[in-house]
Homo-oligomer: A and B are copies of this chain.
Amino acid sequence: MRGELIRVLSEIEEKANELKLDGYNPDVVVMGREAYEFVKTLANEEFGGDEELLELSGLKVRIVDELGGDALIMDSRAVGFEARAIRRIKVVR
């Protein structure tokens, strides 16, 4: 389980770093419903409690159910204007 949590956090960080290298300021990770519940369960198993996920790797967590098991890492000021201001990862394999 811990391995999966580490995998997801590293992938988020990797994409955030890609955005920074492109000159963006990643500030939000938008998660699908399944992706959110998956990571929330892992985090609560790891740290105990039944907390909601507010931040991951320093990025604010938001939910857009329709993304399902995936998540988008984005710079909220540039996304939709510039194609490279967003990345997508598969959270639930």
Contacts and interface: CB of A to CB of B under 8 A. Distances in A.
Interface stretch (A5-13, A40-48, A78-86): A78-86
A26 to B, nearest CB: 11
A70 B32 CA distance: 21
A86 B76 contact: no
The interface residues of chain A, by DSSP majority, are classed as: mixed
Interface residues of A, number: 23
A27 B79 contact: no
Interface of A: 27-28, 30, 32, 60, 62-68, 70, 72, 76, 79-81, 83-84, 86-88
Given A80-B88, A88-B81, A62 B64 contact: yes
